Structure 1
């Protein structure tokens, strides 16, 4: 009986303890909510208080004189509100306007304060200060930010520090070091790293050309991704070499960039790329052949519809649909006489082409659609409006 009462007493105390924790949690939430609302209210008050100062800065950005410091002795939150306003303008403007605002942040002591916060014991404060330093293009903080990336383990917030370095870097070596620290953890973030590099104020094309010849395949891949949409004639020799690189992902990105530059491809080159051992390369080539209007590659695309990889088959059919009557008729023949996945893929793109082309209004597009419609009716009868069927990756294809 004694032990029963002891257990019951412990259970009651445990319940009281849990209720106490719940009460503390509720009180903490109310305190956090109150502090947040108080901070928002103060922010609005400080923005209103310095409205005239902000207007003066905007109207004198194009003037010859230096911008004046914020008036009066600022409280910590008050200074932060002004700083965030200036950072927002720095992100919007370029050239002389940005330089004057950056100098104002230095003169007001904002940069100096945030560099000190990089030594804070709290990780959140260090990240917040790194974000603001990047916004202020604080070049003197770059060595400290690089050390921070070198010594700390990778987290998603490491991207914030990397972006701050890219915005503030004074030379290409700092950008390269930033990339090395960012990619050394083995994370698949090459696309994000390329986006970060392109935020630099430096001439990125020079750096990208150097990275293409680097021994580190991660840096090469970042350069290839970053070069999308950029016309850099000097890159062609490096691409010719990287198309035959040993690393699968590097070779695939090099082929995509090479094809995006609309080169005049030789038949031997096309055959070699379409027979590559990696499906990413074959899929990239198959997709590009339709955009390049390479009608001579129709037999290769026809054979590629039997490829083991779904992406290669799908891209090949899509390109055939773009290659006029001849390519469309090849799809019709496969849909009629083929079997398995090649027939399903061909039929999907035939129906898709019939629905899409019917929406064109230009004369040449309408003529092209009518020719395809005649071919369709020759093989399948009168065309009917129906939803496009979905193509599944079947037939033992697990590489997609």
Structure 2
């Protein structure tokens, strides 16, 4: 009886040993298989090097690219596909269109289309990726159906979504894609906008249309991200309305785009944005004032130096330094008069950065030296001491 525990322990050790040996054997076989596949791929690429040279020489011609002569085995076809996909990802325009047409002529699109029906998720995702690279519009519906299923709820949805965006041939297909993604992943705003940006179509008209969907925060946010940096005046009045949205993220993004059109905004409207309750909007507004050099808001920028938010103070100081002599003088005065340490730091940092730029720009030297001396005078009057660094800097600038 006392030997039973030993027998049980021995049995457990034997099972564990077999499992470990089996694991190492499987790992060795997988590694050997991978090495064999890689070696076969290398040999097939070398075998068809003359064909790749033909493609390189003929891609700029007006004629369609021809498939290689003779019948190709599946490994040979895979090797040629790997080279074509590599080229498609690195070039654009007509050259890419010719390569995607060649993929279709070689049967690669249909081959990957069949792999979409594989029971193995890994094979399906590889097929999805390949179809996206080949920009196969005939597969867009199948990719959208994949998104409607279980895979649309998982992280694989973003692989499928990017492929569908590349394959889409109409704004209606992009709209369906956008609705599916925002429904299943309502927080992935930036990622969804990036996916739609990979399409050959311009999604801006779709985004402009979606700005009227004020009840859907996810759609609005994606549309605003997509429109950022685009010159779309048609959406100007809609953006102005969205600044009043109940959704914080929508308000902020709408205001940032709206501030790209400061020349179209009434002066009092910009002032309202500078005083907006959301600090992100205040920061964007004072930043835009400096970028557009709107001297009318000089006093508002000085007031921004006392803001409770660091970014508002930072951009207020930066913008003052961009408003020429008047702005620089106001910045110096504010730096010396500020009661809050945070405000003084923001102002002085901007002062020294502007002076460093002046030192590197000979056209500004004569203009800024008097203001630098004035800065030293204000500092002396305010703090009752002489700053040696400030006295040395004018000599360095004027030398």
Post-superposition offset of 1:277: 2.1
Q: Partner of 1:324 in structure 2? A: 324
Deviations 1:207-266 (A, max 9, x none): 232233334332332232223333233232332332333322122112111222452543
Q: Partner of 2:345 in structure 1? A: 344
Q: For structure 1, which runs of at least 5 residues remain unmatched after alignment? A: 386-400
3-state SS, counterpart of residue 184 of structure 1: helix
Give distance in 1, aligned partners of 2:287 and 2:147: 39
Q: Is the 8 A contact 2:210 2:223 kept in 1?
A: yes
Give distance in 1, aligned partners of 2:333 and 2:100: 65
Q: Partner of 2:212 in structure 1? A: 213
Residues 384 and 40 of structure 1: is their aligned pair in 2 closer, same or farther, counting only changes over 3 Å?
farther
Give distance in 2, aligned partners of 1:168 and 1:272: 44
Give distance in 2, aligned partners of 1:224 and 1:128: 32
Post-superposition offset of 1:272: 1.1
Q: Partner of 2:285 in structure 1? A: 285
Q: Partner of 1:383 in structure 2? A: 389
TM-score (norm 1): 0.85
Q: Partner of 2:314 in structure 1? A: 314
Residues 187 and 37 of structure 1: is their aligned pair in 2 closer, same or farther, counting only changes over 3 Å?
farther
Q: Is the 8 A contact 2:207 2:223 kept in 1?
A: yes
Q: Partner of 1:256 in structure 2? A: 256
Residues 340 and 108 of structure 1: is their aligned pair in 2 closer, same or farther, counting only changes over 3 Å?
same
1:125 to 123, 126, 130: 123
Q: Partner of 2:67 in structure 1? A: 69
Give distance in 2, aligned partners of 1:180 and 1:171: 15
Matched, 1:32 2:30: yes
Give distance in 1, aligned partners of 2:80 and 2:206: 35
Q: Is the 8 A contact 1:145 1:161 kept in 2?
A: yes
Deviates more, 1:280-289 or 1:82-91: 82-91
Deviates more, 1:288-297 or 1:312-321: 312-321
Residues 368 and 212 of structure 1: is their aligned pair in 2 closer, same or farther, counting only changes over 3 Å?
farther
3-state SS, counterpart of residue 117 of structure 2: coil
Q: Is the 8 A contact 1:377 1:383 kept in 2?
A: no
Give distance in 1, aligned partners of 2:244 and 2:318: 26
TM-score (norm 2): 0.85
Q: Is the 8 A contact 1:324 1:368 kept in 2?
A: no
Number of aligned residues? 382
3-state SS, counterpart of residue 263 of structure 1: helix
Q: Is the 8 A contact 1:357 1:369 kept in 2?
A: no
Give distance in 2, aligned partners of 1:324 and 1:26: 72
Give distance in 1, aligned partners of 2:340 and 2:82: 63
Q: Partner of 1:234 in structure 2? A: 234
Q: For structure 2, which runs of at least 5 residues remain unmatched after alignment? A: 380-386, 392-399
Q: Is the 8 A contact 2:333 2:375 kept in 1?
A: no
Give distance in 2, aligned partners of 1:254 and 1:272: 14
Q: Partner of 1:268 in structure 2? A: 268
Matched, 1:204 2:210: no
Deviations 1:346-388 (A, max 9, x none): 334334444x42552x333334553553243224434369xxx
Deviates more, 1:337-346 or 1:131-140: 337-346
Deviations 1:149-169 (A, max 9, x none): 121243333222111111111
Q: Is the 8 A contact 1:286 1:316 kept in 2?
A: yes
Give distance in 2, aligned partners of 1:226 and 1:367: 44
